Structure 1
């Protein structure tokens, strides 16, 4: 009986240490990614996040942030083939993340982000297909949690980069960014299992629109 108790205590301690280590390394990599600016520096951190996702393959958030980093970085690259390849990898990582957790608005929002990244590679030929996916995924996410600021950030970002002739530009994008501000303010930045990305870029676009 005593041995069984000792084994149970060991397992509990081991599990706690595993979780703590995972959270530490993931947060360190995520924060580094957000601080980097050049495409190459971001790709370097993408590789680091891939290693974390491989090491902690049972953690949905490891796959989620690997997908997130690839999507963000794809916008910074110039070669269309490289961009599509990175988005392919993002989609694969997100599918692994979906398999490890219940469908929630963050997964749907990331699916919308991936669709928008696809569209951005070749806007003229991909607008209809991926624009519809983008809108549909954000509508699903909003039905689950309309108070998620990333819904409005992505709507604003998409509108910002849409030509004015098609309803885009700062004037139409700014209300989305402004709606996201108080929602971002309510989020904690302590727990990566509760995503909080988007705040800084949301503010960047607001500044761009106000200049």
Structure 2
């Protein structure tokens, strides 16, 4: 009995130390990202993902860094490289968490980045993927504010392209605002971004 207690205590201590190391590493990666050290942050998230073995969040954030960076980049080679890396990270994330709305949303953003980068080359092949991914995410989590907000932005962009009124999707933005207010924040490092983009997207409603 004494031996069992010692063994259980050892595993408990190991688990606590592992969790502390994870939280410290994630905090450092977010700090690097906040200081515009994008590649350092992405690399750290990747290392955390490899150490964690079964956690999708580090790979998810590594992918997000590369995707977001492409929207402010003109260099075609860099864009292609970052989006390829992002897809690889999301593939890793999906091995740990299937039918995950947040991963689907991020993959929709990745495909959006391809269309924004070169619509002539990727518009036909990737636009359908974007729509499909947002629809899947909303089926899994109907009240996910990021799925609703960014799907509305995508639909507004499509409406403008086809000469239609983007204001038709403004009610979806109002719905997203309500869901942002209801969104729980109990899981450490769980995605909660997007609320600061509402005003920018609402410009389409004027």
Asked if TM exceeds 0.5, the reply is yes
Q: What's 1:2 paired with?
A: 2
Q: State the aligned residue count.
A: 206
Evaluate the alpha carbon distance shift between residue 10 and residue 113 of structure 1 in structure 2; reply closer, same or farther with a 3 A threshold.
same
Aligned equivalent of 1:86, options 82, 105, 129: 82
Q: Distance in 2 between matches of 1:96 and 1:203?
A: 33
**1:82, distance to aligned residue in structure 2 (A):** 0.6
* TM-score, normalised relative to structure 2: 0.84
Residues 14-25 of structure 1 mapped to structure 2, 5 A cutoff:
14-25=14-25
- Tell me the residue number matched to 1:180: 176
**CA RMSD across the alignment:** 2.6
Q: Distance in 2 between matches of 1:115 and 1:168?
A: 22
The structure 2 residue matched to 1:155, chosen from 148, 151, 158, is 151
Residue of structure 1 in register with 2:13 after alignment = 13
Q: CA deviation at 1:43?
A: 3.5
Match of 1:100 among 93, 96, 100: 96
Alignment CA distance shift 1:102-1:125 (3 Å): closer
- What are the residue-to-residue correspondences of 1:62-77 with 2, within 5 Å? 62-77=58-73
Residue 179 of structure 1, CA deviation: 2.6
Write the distance in 1 (CA, Å) between the matches of 2:51 and 2:103: 21
Q: Following the alignment from structure 2 to structure 1, what is the Cα–Cα distance between the partners of residues 121 and 92?
A: 29
Corresponding residue for 2:109? 113
Q: Alpha-carbon deviation of 1:97?
A: 0.8
| 91-100 vs 197-206, which moves further | 197-206
Q: Would you say the 8 A contact 2:45–2:61 is kept in 1?
A: yes
Residue 136 of structure 2 is aligned with which of 135, 140, 165?
140
1:11 and 1:168 mapped to 2: Cα distance?
Answer: 60
Distance 1:116 1:132 in 2: 10
* Structure 2 gap ranges (5+): none
